[in-house]
Amino acid sequence: MQMFSTLLMKHISIQVITSDLPSASVILAELNSFSPDTRPYAEQALPEIPGRRFRESYTQAKTRLDKIASEVGFAPTSLSDGVTPISEGELDQANQWLGVAWETCSGFEETRRRQHEERVNIDQLETTLANFRNLHIDLGRLQGDKHFLETHIGMLPRTQVDQLRDALGLDRYLLFPFMESENETHVIIVGANDREASKLQSVLDTAGFRPLEIPPELHAEPDTAKTRLMQRREAVKQAAQALEQAISAWSAESRQTLERAAHILHLAAPYVALGEAARHRGDLSRLQGWVPADDLPSVERALDGKLPSAFVLEARDPTAEERPLVPSVMRHNPLLKPFSALVMQYGVPRYGEVNPTQLFALTYILMFGMMFGDVGHGAVILGAALLLRRKLGSFTAFGITAGLSSMLFGFLYGSIFGFEHILHALWIAPLTDPLYMLTVALLWGIGFITLVTLLNILNHLVQGDRLGALFGDNGLLSLLLYAGLLGAGYSFYADGSIGAFWAVLAVLTLIGIFAHKLIEQDASIGERILVAFIETFETITGYASNTLSFLRVAAFSLNHVALAIAVFTLADMMGDTGHWITVMLGNVFILVLEGLIVAIQVLRLEFYEGFSRFYSGDGRAFKPLTL
Amino acid sequence: MSSHRNQAYLKTRVAVLSARLLSPQEIERLKGLTLNQLGETFDLLPIFEEDIDTRQKSRLVEQALLHRLMRELSVLLRPLSGRSRGLLLYWPRKFELYNLKTLIRGKMSHLEMEEIRDNLYELPENIRLPHESLLQAENVLEMLRQLDQGPYALIARQARNVFEEQHETFSLDAAIDRLYYTGMLRHANITDSIDKRGLKKVIGIMVDQQNILWLLRYRLVYHFAPSEAYYLLIPYGGRIQRDNLMELANLEGLETIIDHLPAPFQTLLSDAENITQVRQRLDRTVSVELQKLMHYSPDAVVSALSYLIIRDMDLMRFYAIIQSKLLQMDQAMLDEAVPGDAMDATTMEAVT
């Protein structure tokens, strides 16, 4: 039964000597079974939270290591040494070393930034010079001290130009923009040389004005100036190469120490992750958390064998009030991993709630096959999944099962790459009897909705909510109402009359649901009646529309054949080569487009028509201490 | 926000919330209350009862008031989507920019990470800078490199200039303020508001207030040259436009500058003796003008924005009262810091 629900959990509290806390955290992290419970507890008896300094040191060290790793391209290798707890002294030492190392790396980064800026400056200067050369204006003449005129050539952010022009105008300077690049504007500032230079300089600094250093020999020897610029560019290039070499050398030289630091941080992480789940007073500490009941003996054994001093472990079942806080653990066969991932997209099951992964996997694969039944297309999906298994990872199983299901239904429908006459249909070719296909889909839908409603009743009973199981949305009364409506509908279809039994069943359950909705609300009588009426009406329309929604299962199987017919009709209009090209391209089209649509439609049926009826998905994920 | 239903919802919300705004009489009454009575009024008692020093209490009160404002903002945001939502969400970014100033100054002054963190506003996720990574930067240059990668690249450049050339941080603060108001105007220009004039008036009021105060500080306190003072101001105010601002920047002395201010500022500030008095009168004028917009703008977004600005100013006044009580300042000092009834008649006369 455990495979259809979350694992049973135990709340444990472990009392240890404070100095053993880091060891305890590492031992628990190795087991991968302990999720810290950070609710406040025993604040009077154990007023302090241990390891505040340790955590601060860890955070700083981890940030430093991450920054260094990104700067020098360092990726730590997996743990090779033994698993031992980390002392505060060891962590501090590592942090200190990482601080020094980051200072070096930060220097590399700053140098790289400056080199980039220098490259940009040279580019800008070259563009400026070329611009002036074309205009036959000697820029060299504009710079240098003049008797009556003060000139400045440089760049500033585009957004500042107007404001600076106005500001300089107040000091009787003129500003002329002469070129614009991405974010910068190149300007010349001119004014009479009879004012305090410091005033102008102050405004220019404030505006982020960057003067352009014009080579002095520009006027007399333009070629020398050009060569000088080229030399500058070459020098920057060489400096950049030297920097990269220095970074590589430093990285190689520091690799071992970096590995050691990464190792220390790795082992320190569990103690940090304990957070407020651990409390202490003096030498006595306590930590609390959640453990799957099955893993409790191994937790006890591990602590017994590895913890240096004595400890006291107390375990208990979660209380009724705690249930919403208990993390949900589900352990699946690896084949179910991709389906579990899709279920998690909807939400984590509540503790004790039915785990829908198996049901989801089975019904998803069946519906996919029903809607996309084709031996050839299924084989392509299967082959693609096998070929791309490295890239797909755990989702390979998803592709394989979907492909196999598609092939199975392909044999049942007698369809291979859209050809309906090559294989003999083991069951039925969908287009030969569409009404039969629609009936099967409808029955499938009724069965599916009945099953998920039963699961919802079960979920309520597990949570101890008998009233909800009986009267709530998708409770027993709703299910009986559904049965009454279906029975009445079928009687009307078969005999032309509704049938007294079904009519009475439907009306009585309807009254029951309406009465419950009337009672459960806390509002004025008028509002209660209105809301109860609307919600009861919604229950009926919900069941009706959800059931009809399953007609798409048949509709897509018919659609698959119809698309194939369209492709063959087009192919028949072509010559021999064109015929086969059209058939091939048509099949690719069907495979990609229809395959994708079917995959999404099935997911929609699962989530909207299925999960929304029984699965709350608002549980807490199990986040164990890990190494 | 075109839907009439949403307009009606927002208008109703603003009308309900506006009952919380503090009248001058209410401010007077609050000034007369004890610290505990003030705490009861604004649910701050737990902070006053905590065993922490005055500075920490003051900090917690400031955060609590900001949270209160952010909660009201989230209520007003509910019916909004698209550009109107973007506009209203942009307004509280000024707190983010305060944080940016704190971070840059803190790092430049080599303050400890914790000390800087203590002075940052806690803001909702959607308008928050990546504080943690900026805080973890181990020196100014590292933090500026991080800022270089985001929307604050220009600020980073200015800050680097300030840091490397050892300049004062005025240019930095001014650049940040200008960035904020430019962004506000950009949002106002692209929004589909049915009262763009009202919206621009709101922004104009804020910019004018900022410009007058900083012009006086730059020219009279820091003795900046006209060009530099002008450069640091925002050239697109409501009543004080670019030419006007240039003229004002060229003047000397408090009286002369006030004499050349356009109406209604000239009348309002005519007998102000110092910059503190100027600030108080401007605060009150802004509040009165925004109240008019809040009540009479045909666009609920303009009303909501006006409400938020007035509410923010009210909470600042309330915070000043709390601080004076925490620091046990005498009544005269409190009256000077937070004038109430006495000034109102003059202000109302000038504004109307």
| Residue A59 C-alpha, separation from nearest chain B C-alpha, in angstroms | 9
* Residue A44, beta-bridge partner list: none
Region A557-585: what's the mean pLDDT? 91
- Tell whether omega for the bond before B264 is within 30 degrees of 0, i.e. cis: yes
Residues of chain A contacting B167 with CB distance shorter than 8 Å: 205-206
pLDDT digits (tens, 9 = 90+) for A248-259: 999 999 999 999
Across chain B, mean pLDDT equals 85
If you measure CA to CA, which chain B residue comes closest to A59? B136
| B161 touches A at CB < 8 Å | yes
Mention every residue, 6+ apart, whose C-beta is less than 8 A from residue A29. A269, A270, A273, A624, A625, A626, A627
Residues of chain A contacting B154 with CB distance shorter than 8 Å: 157, 159
| CA pair distance A624, A290, nearest whole angstrom | 9
The two three-digit tokens of residue B268, written as one number: 């309002």
Residue B202 near residue B299, CB atoms below 8 Å = no
Confidence of residue A453 (pLDDT cuts 50, 70, 90): very high
DSSP-assigned states of every residue in B48-69: HHSS--HHHHHHHHHHHHHHHH
| Residue B105 C-alpha, separation from nearest chain A C-alpha, in angstroms | 16
Q: Which of A445, A435, A405 is nearest to A558 (CA)?
A: A435
Residue A377 burial (C-beta neighbours within 10 Å; 0-12, 13-18, 19+): buried
Neighbours of A55 (CB within 10 A): 18
| A164 touches B at CB < 8 Å | yes
| CA pair distance A121, A566, nearest whole angstrom | 63
Q: Which helix (H) or strand (E) holds A180?
A: strand A173-180
Instruction: Give the ipTM.
Output: 0.80
| Residue A335 C-alpha, separation from nearest chain B C-alpha, in angstroms | 38
pLDDT at residue B4, as a whole number: 80
| CA pair distance B155, B144, nearest whole angstrom | 9
DSSP 8-state secondary structure symbol assigned to residue B191: S
| CA pair distance A623, A269, nearest whole angstrom | 14
| A393 touches B at CB < 8 Å | no
Is the pLDDT at A195 greater than 80? The verdict is no
DSSP 8-state secondary structure symbol assigned to residue A5: B
| B232 touches A at CB < 8 Å | yes
For tokens 């299901």, the residue is A405
A172: left (phi over 0), alpha (psi -120 to 50) or beta: left
pLDDT at residue B5, as a whole number: 81
B241: left (phi over 0), alpha (psi -120 to 50) or beta: beta
Residue A258 near residue A101, CB atoms below 8 Å = yes
CB pairs under 8 A between A and B: 73
If you measure CA to CA, which chain B residue comes closest to A163? B231
A417: left (phi over 0), alpha (psi -120 to 50) or beta: left
pLDDT at residue B1, as a whole number: 52
pLDDT at residue A622, as a whole number: 92
pLDDT digits (tens, 9 = 90+) for B46-63: 888 888 888 888 889 999
B110: left (phi over 0), alpha (psi -120 to 50) or beta: left
pLDDT at residue A204, as a whole number: 85
pLDDT digits (tens, 9 = 90+) for B108-119: 888 888 888 888
Letter for the amino acid at A221? E
Is the pLDDT at B2 greater than 60? The verdict is no
Whole-Å CA distances, A181 to A151, A159, A219, B159? 21, 12, 25, 22
Is the pLDDT at A226 greater than 70? The verdict is yes
pTM for this prediction: 0.71
| CA pair distance A611, A621, nearest whole angstrom | 18
Is the pLDDT at A585 greater than 90? The verdict is yes
| CA pair distance A582, A585, nearest whole angstrom | 5
| CA pair distance A168, B227, nearest whole angstrom | 6
Across chain A, mean pLDDT equals 89
pLDDT at residue A220, as a whole number: 57
If you measure CA to CA, which chain B residue comes closest to A199? B225
pLDDT digits (tens, 9 = 90+) for B62-102: 999 999 999 999 999 988 888 888 888 889 988 988 888 89
Residues of chain A contacting B141 with CB distance shorter than 8 Å: 106, 110
- Tell whether omega for the bond before A215 is within 30 degrees of 0, i.e. cis: no
Neighbours of A364 (CB within 10 A): 23
| CA pair distance A54, A50, nearest whole angstrom | 9
Mention every residue, 6+ apart, whose C-beta is less than 8 A from residue B90. B183, B184, B187
Letter for the amino acid at A561? V
Residues of chain B contacting A65 with CB distance shorter than 8 Å: none
Q: What is the CATH number of domain A127-232?
A: 3.30.70.2750
Region B267-295: what's the mean pLDDT? 88
For tokens 């000239």, the residue is B266
Least CB–CB distance from A168: residue in B154, B227, B232: B227
Percentage above 90 pLDDT, chain B: 24
Residue A609 near residue A448, CB atoms below 8 Å = yes
* Residue A281, beta-bridge partner list: A284
| CA pair distance A473, A479, nearest whole angstrom | 9
| B170 touches A at CB < 8 Å | yes
pLDDT digits (tens, 9 = 90+) for B288-347: 889 999 999 998 999 999 999 999 999 999 999 999 988 888 888 888 778 765 555 555
HSE-CB at B234 with a 13 A cutoff on CA atoms is: 29
If you measure CA to CA, which chain B residue comes closest to A57? B136
Taking only Cα atoms into account, the Rg of chain B, rounded to an integer number of angstroms, comes to 21
Region A169-191: what's the mean pLDDT? 86
Strands A173-180 and A184-192: antiparallel
pLDDT digits (tens, 9 = 90+) for A490-540: 999 998 888 899 999 999 999 999 999 988 888 788 888 988 999 999 999
Residue A620 has φ and ψ, to the nearest 5°, of: -105, 130
For tokens 């201490």, the residue is A625
Confidence of residue A369 (pLDDT cuts 50, 70, 90): very high
Region A559-579: what's the mean pLDDT? 90
| Residue A604 C-alpha, separation from nearest chain B C-alpha, in angstroms | 27
Is the pLDDT at B174 greater than 70? The verdict is yes
Letter for the amino acid at B233? L
pLDDT at residue A190, as a whole number: 87
pLDDT digits (tens, 9 = 90+) for A314-367: 999 999 889 889 999 988 888 899 999 999 999 998 898 888 899 999 999 999
pLDDT at residue B123, as a whole number: 82
For tokens 């404030």, the residue is A206
| Residue B171 C-alpha, separation from nearest chain A C-alpha, in angstroms | 5
Neighbours of A47 (CB within 10 A): 10
| Residue A164 C-alpha, separation from nearest chain B C-alpha, in angstroms | 6
Cα of A490 vs its chain's centroid, Å: 46
If you measure CA to CA, which chain B residue comes closest to A198? B225
Neighbours of A558 (CB within 10 A): 16
**Which residues between 113 and 132 in chain A have a beta carbon less than 8 angstroms from any beta carbon of chain B?**
113
| CA pair distance A569, A583, nearest whole angstrom | 10
**Which residues between 250 and 269 in chain B have a beta carbon less than 8 angstroms from any beta carbon of chain A?**
250
The two three-digit tokens of residue A42, written as one number: 């025993």
Neighbours of B143 (CB within 10 A): 22
State the SS3 of A14-51: EEEEHHHHHHHHHHHHHHCCCEECCCCCCCCCCCECCC
If you measure CA to CA, which chain A residue comes closest to B113? A60
pLDDT at residue A623, as a whole number: 92
Region A283-306: what's the mean pLDDT? 93
Q: Where are the domains of chain A?
A: 2-101+248-328, 127-232, 334-621
pLDDT at residue A211, as a whole number: 83
The two three-digit tokens of residue A470, written as one number: 């009986």
Residue A102 near residue B137, CB atoms below 8 Å = no
Strands A620-621 and A327-328: parallel
pLDDT at residue A314, as a whole number: 94
| CA pair distance A489, A483, nearest whole angstrom | 10
| CA pair distance B119, B116, nearest whole angstrom | 5
Residue A27 near residue A303, CB atoms below 8 Å = yes
